Amino acid sequence: MSTDDRRVFGRRLPGGTEFEHPLVGLERRRTAVVAAYLAVLVGLFGVSYAGTTITIGDTPLETVTPRFDAVSTVLIALATATITVVPFCYAAWNGGPAVSFGLPLVPVFLGDIAAGRYVLGVDAAIALTVGAAASALALLATDVRQTGSLRPWRGARGDAAGSQQLFVTMILAVAAVGVARFAGTVPPRSLEWYLPFAVCWLVSVGVVGAYWQATLRAAVASRVASERAES
Amino acid sequence: MSTRRSLLRSGGVAGVGTLVAVLALPPPPDGTSIDRTVEGTAAPAPVDGWTDRPITDEDETPVARYQYRPADDADGTDREAFVATAPINVVLLPAAETDEAGLERVMDVLTDDGWLRRPEEYTRYARDRTTGRYVRQEATAAETYYGTSGRLHVRCWSFEGVVSMQAHEDTGARPKHGIASYERGREAVAAIFDAAGWAVTPTAIDLDNDQRDHDGFATVVTEDDP
């Protein structure tokens, strides 16, 4: 893990350790890049929101210039990418199961705040699904880099790796409960829009399943070995 | 022994953490199915004069026929500077005294069905015949804030007590939203307002604005006097 380089975009990074946790990312510089990306997203969201809510006289700000429409266009594209693709890119690039899971939820939360509603609609269900799969991919990407093996669950792993495995399993459980509730309640058209993203569960369950299978095997093998030693 | 204790502790923390996170999840919206059978009613009295022939000019009635996108340097009254983008396909008659109150009555039905108001969207205009001005969307709602994979989305204007609605199903943003269907938008709105107890007259007014899967007719939705 390289944490020596404390400069991003020519600026010195803060001296704290907030960018250094393995659940956040492998390399400090890359984690800072995604933090900057999120800051841009939040900034654009703020501009777009101001355009519709701030009025001059009786006229909303966004009617003053068509550029606000361009901001909405960019924001919709950026938010959609953040909900669907960016978490996978980040997970493969910099590991960090917690950030990989949280990334797609950021635009969804911003939308909830702006709309004043907290609902598990299609966007939120997709974000949970993608976040869970990206989190599993982050676990795998971290271990592949650290062990140099494409099946890292087979080798001996430390306590920290075990904690990450447990953390990702928790995330999967939470996302699965949310999506199950969503699927059981919403009308068929919402399921139709969600369905293409259901394939992400293959990644989530495949990766975490492989880890737990290896963990169980190791536990059984160690019990058998200790029983043999006792007899 | 200490390994077992630490395992139990980790498992306990993970279990409690999972439970707390599950409890913090928001509830899913309990939306109306688009397949709901709508009991059609006869066209209400206020639109009687608008149902026997096509409406081909926006100066004829308070109903808008299209929503428009402005050119960069558009003047608010210049017809040449506004380009029609999508057809108005639902006309609503809320039981309200003012245009603002009427729009709120309409929006309330959609938010009760789990929709969000003022989602992230492009800005569109409709023409108010009383002033000749193009007016920015007055009330909007959608099923989701961004429509990542698709969503139902409506824009509304209320002129002279009559609400003109453009209802459509968006495609997913790739990277911009397109129109997946006008027909499904109109059907969904009819189903939702029918479920809320409003009277629905399917395809009652010919607005002569057919395009893509839209046949050029607007469904009329009327709120009974409370």
- Could you say which residues from 101 to 130 on chain B have a Cβ atom under 8 Å away from some Cβ of chain A? 111, 114, 116-123
**How confident is the model at residue B10, as a pLDDT?**
81
Contact at CB, A117 and B116, closer than 8 angstroms? yes
Q: Minimal Cα–Cα distance from A10 to chain B, Å?
A: 31
Please, which pLDDT band fits residue A16 given cuts at 50, 70 and 90? low
Q: Which residue from A minimizes the CA distance to B188? A: A189
**How confident is the model at residue A149, as a pLDDT?**
80
**How confident is the model at residue A4, as a pLDDT?**
45
Residues of chain A positioned with their CB less than 8 A from the CB of B111: 117
pLDDT in tens, B49-66: 899 899 999 999 999 999
Please, which pLDDT band fits residue B37 given cuts at 50, 70 and 90? confident
Identify the three-state secondary structure at position A11. strand
**How confident is the model at residue B30, as a pLDDT?**
81
Q: Give the best residue of A56, A101, A122 to mutate against chain B (max B CB count within 10 A).
A: A122
Is the per-residue pLDDT at A135 higher than 70?
yes
Q: d(Cα B224, Cα B212) in Å, to the nearest integer?
A: 33
pLDDT in tens, B75-127: 677 888 899 999 999 999 999 999 999 999 999 999 999 999 999 999 999 99
Any chain B CB within 8 A of the CB of A121? yes
Share of chain A above pLDDT 90, in %: 59
| Domain residue spans of chain B | 31-222
Q: d(Cα A206, Cα A154) in Å, to the nearest integer?
A: 14
Any chain B CB within 8 A of the CB of A186? yes
Q: Residue A75 is encoded by which pair of tokens?
A: 């924001």
Is the per-residue pLDDT at A2 higher than 70?
no
Q: d(Cα B105, Cα B221) in Å, to the nearest integer?
A: 12
Helices and strands (H, E) in chain B, number of each type: 3, 12
**How confident is the model at residue B164, as a pLDDT?**
98
Q: What is the DSSP letter of A157?
A: -
Residue in B133, B65, B87, B108 with CA at minimum distance from that of residue A59: B133
Q: What is the DSSP letter of B42?
A: P
Q: d(Cα A216, Cα A220) in Å, to the nearest integer?
A: 6
Any chain B CB within 8 A of the CB of A60? yes
**How confident is the model at residue A228, as a pLDDT?**
79
What range does the domain containing A52 cover? Answer: 7-230
Burial of B49 (0-12, 13-18, 19+ CB in 10 A): exposed
Residue in B191, B142, B166 with CA at minimum distance from that of residue B89: B166
Once rounded to an integer, what is the mean pLDDT over residues A69-75?
91
Any chain B CB within 8 A of the CB of A73? yes
Any chain A CB within 8 A of the CB of B40? no
Residue A1 belongs to some domain of the structure: no
Q: d(Cα A72, Cα A76) in Å, to the nearest integer?
A: 6
Q: d(Cα A2, Cα A14) in Å, to the nearest integer?
A: 16
Q: Give the best residue of A61, A76, A197 to mutate against chain B (max B CB count within 10 A).
A: A76
User: What interface predicted TM-score (ipTM) does this complex get?
Assistant: 0.89
**Residues contacting A175, CB < 8 A, separation 6+:** A128, A129, A131, A132, A204
Is the per-residue pLDDT at B40 higher than 80?
yes
Q: Minimal Cα–Cα distance from A179 to chain B, Å?
A: 9
Residue A187 belongs to some domain of the structure: yes
Q: Give bridge partners of residue B214 from the DSSP assignment.
A: B211
Q: d(Cα B170, Cα B154) in Å, to the nearest integer?
A: 10
Q: Which residue from B25, B149, B173 is facing A197, i.e. has the nearest CB?
A: B149
Residues of chain B positioned with their CB less than 8 A from the CB of A169: 14
Task: Please calculate the CA angle B45-B48-B52 and round it to the nearest 5 degrees.
Answer: 165
**How confident is the model at residue B183, as a pLDDT?**
96
**How confident is the model at residue A183, as a pLDDT?**
95
Residue A16 belongs to some domain of the structure: yes
Contact at CB, A186 and B174, closer than 8 angstroms? no
Q: Are B167 and B88 in contact (CB under 8 A)?
A: no
Q: Minimal Cα–Cα distance from B151 to chain A, Å?
A: 8
Contact at CB, B72 and A66, closer than 8 angstroms? yes
Contact at CB, B173 and A63, closer than 8 angstroms? no
pLDDT in tens, B125-183: 999 999 999 999 999 999 999 999 999 999 999 999 999 999 999 999 888 899 999 99
pLDDT in tens, A160-187: 677 889 999 999 999 999 999 999 999 9
Q: Give bridge partners of residue A55 from the DSSP assignment.
A: A60
Any chain A CB within 8 A of the CB of B30? yes
Q: d(Cα B69, Cα A83) in Å, to the nearest integer?
A: 28
Contact at CB, B27 and A181, closer than 8 angstroms? yes
Please, which pLDDT band fits residue A3 given cuts at 50, 70 and 90? very low
Q: Which residue from B11, B28, B174 is facing A186, i.e. has the nearest CB?
A: B28
Residue A139 belongs to some domain of the structure: yes
Give the total number of structural domains in chain A. Answer: 1
Q: d(Cα B135, Cα B128) in Å, to the nearest integer?
A: 7
pLDDT in tens, B188-208: 999 999 999 999 999 999 999
Q: Which residue reads 């990306």 in tokens?
A: A37
Global pTM reads: 0.89
Q: Residue A198 is encoded by which pair of tokens?
A: 């259901």
**How confident is the model at residue A17, as a pLDDT?**
58
Q: Which residue from B minimizes the CA distance to A107? A: B146
Q: What is the mean pLDDT of chain A?
A: 87
Q: Minimal Cα–Cα distance from A51 to chain B, Å?
A: 11
